[in-house]
Amino acid sequence: MEQKKPGMRTLLGTVLLCVIVLAGCTGIPGTPITPTITPMTQDTVNTQPTTTTVASVSGSVKDVSEANNRFTFDLYSNLAKDPEYAGSNLFFSPFSISSALAITYEGAHGTTADEIRSVFHLPSDIAAMRQGFAETNAGINKGSAGYILRTANALWAEKTYPFLPGYISTASKYYGANVTNLDFISQPEESRSIINHWVEQTTENKIKDLIPAGAIDPMTRLVITNAVYFKGTWVRQFDKNNTRDADFRVSPEKTVKVSMMQRTDEDTVYRYTETGDVQVLMMPYAHSSDKGLSMLIILPKGENLTVAENVLDTAGLSGIQNSLIAQRVKVFLPKFKLETEYRLPDTLAAMGMPTAFSSTADFSGMDGTKSLFIGDVIHKAFVDVNEEGTEAAAATAVVMKLSAAPGEHPIPVFNADHPFVFIIQDDETGTILFMGRVMNPAG
């Protein structure tokens, strides 16, 4: 559904990608990253309580993870309160957006840089930030036999425009973003097709036409892209034969029919906790390395989704995760498939970085001038949750142009038959890779 202002479109797919298009720079030839895909296998669940980080995670990675997660909650809050999305499903990749804007931030100075750093909560120590992103990306791309997870960055530069060698070197060294020369001036549509094709390949064809017609024009100078793709199977999969049609309460006045998955057998052991207002379930994905991934679902006990959204901050989420205990739970979860699209300039400007979108922007760290500004930020994301597991992806384009312990208690029933919030996270670092809310699984 087309929005009047930068908004969201509900689609289908699963992949994460960030693209930043800038105007005004000479490219240096390069090749985009193509991470190796590893096969998936089953793994057993660790039934001990866990935290979101481990001792091997460096301080720089923790700083970047915390920055990403703080931005996650800020962006979710802004989108959830926007009348444009009232009653709508939400899904996005904060890591994709943060990665793309971190590369953009590398070229910003003055007020422009201060505002971007504030909105994305980036570490003030630039060396620590760079090291944090480098280690985080390396950790994501190291692979596991249990799931597919990869991320990639790339720069696409107008072939006649001179970018500063230092900026190009930084993007390559710390973010793995090599440069490819394109002819934005004479062949903007052909250039757009090349970038979109890279996006499709990197996201297993889940994100198509990321950059829409007309978004790249002769004033475009640079496009920065980040892509993330995830596909994993549940440690404990659902039996398709047990999936039934069921009612999902979109609101107290409205229900829709959905395909409700269920696991109620004795082996249905998950990490679980609850408060007076919410139930929280952690569903792990199969893996064969130290880097586990999981989906965390926060389900209000009543009809008010706000009580689930109210725990969405760093301290609240940490407290919940530390209270999760492995126990038997009867689980009912709807199958759902979401694809969303957002135009984020207005949202990011309102969050505190208006200068980057104005003629007073200072991206002189890219080209030595103050001629560039961000013309658009486009983000697409896709998720498919079914009996086997989850496939998820997202893409962001920034267009820059010139000028409780178990006991003898009843077995909890986790029946997600009304709106809920969910997160897909890296258990090793605590980094939130994807986040969303399901208001209507039927779309």
Mean pLDDT of 57-64: 93
pLDDT value of residue 290: 74
DSSP string, 135-187: HHHHHHHT-BTTEEEEEEEEEEEETTS---HHHHHHHHHHH--EEEEE-TTT-
Residues 169 and 189 occupy one common structural domain: yes
Give the domain CATH number at 267. 2.30.39.10
pLDDT value of residue 410: 79
Q: Summarize the chain as % helix, strand, coil (round to 5).
A: 25, 35, 40
pLDDT grade, residue 406 (50/70/90)? very low
Place of tokens 């559904």: 1
Q: What percent of the chain has pLDDT over 70?
A: 86
Per-residue model confidence as pLDDT tens digits over 241-272: 999 999 999 998 899 999 999 999 999 999 99
Mean pLDDT of 397-424: 81
pLDDT value of residue 408: 56
DSSP string, 42-57: --PPP-S---S--TTS
Give the domain CATH number at 175. 3.30.497.10
Residues 103 and 215 occupy one common structural domain: yes
| Torsion angle of C-alpha atoms 275, 79, 296, 330, degrees rounded to 10 | 70
Range scoring the smallest mean pLDDT among 54-58, 232-236, 402-406? 402-406
- The three-point CA angle 231-432-276 to 5° equals 110
Residues 203 and 176 occupy one common structural domain: yes
Res. 219: pLDDT tops 50:
yes
Q: Are residues 287 and 293 in contact, defined by beta-carbon separation less than 8 angstroms?
A: yes
Residues 389 and 426 occupy one common structural domain: no
Does 302 fall in a domain?
A: yes
Question: pTM to 2 decimals?
Answer: 0.85
Residues 224 and 279 occupy one common structural domain: no
Does 6 fall in a domain?
A: no
Range scoring the smallest mean pLDDT among 35-44, 253-262, 311-320, 423-432? 35-44
Residues 371 and 417 occupy one common structural domain: no
Res. 235: pLDDT tops 70:
yes
Count of domains in the chain? 2
pLDDT value of residue 148: 95
Per-residue model confidence as pLDDT tens digits over 65-92: 999 999 999 999 999 999 999 989 999 9
pLDDT value of residue 403: 82
178/164 Cα distance (integer angstroms)? 14
Residues 71 and 201 occupy one common structural domain: yes
Residues 139 and 153 occupy one common structural domain: yes
Does 126 fall in a domain?
A: yes
> Which range marks the domain in which residue 166 is found?
16-233+336-402
Q: What percent of the chain has pLDDT over 90?
A: 76
CB atoms within 10 A of CB 70: 18
Range scoring the smallest mean pLDDT among 7-11, 204-208, 257-261? 7-11
Per-residue model confidence as pLDDT tens digits over 100-132: 999 999 999 999 999 999 999 999 999 999 999
Residues 209 and 277 occupy one common structural domain: no
170/275 Cα distance (integer angstroms)? 46
pLDDT value of residue 22: 55
Q: Are residues 314 and 69 in contact, defined by beta-carbon separation less than 8 angstroms?
A: yes
Does 169 fall in a domain?
A: yes
Residues 228 and 261 occupy one common structural domain: no
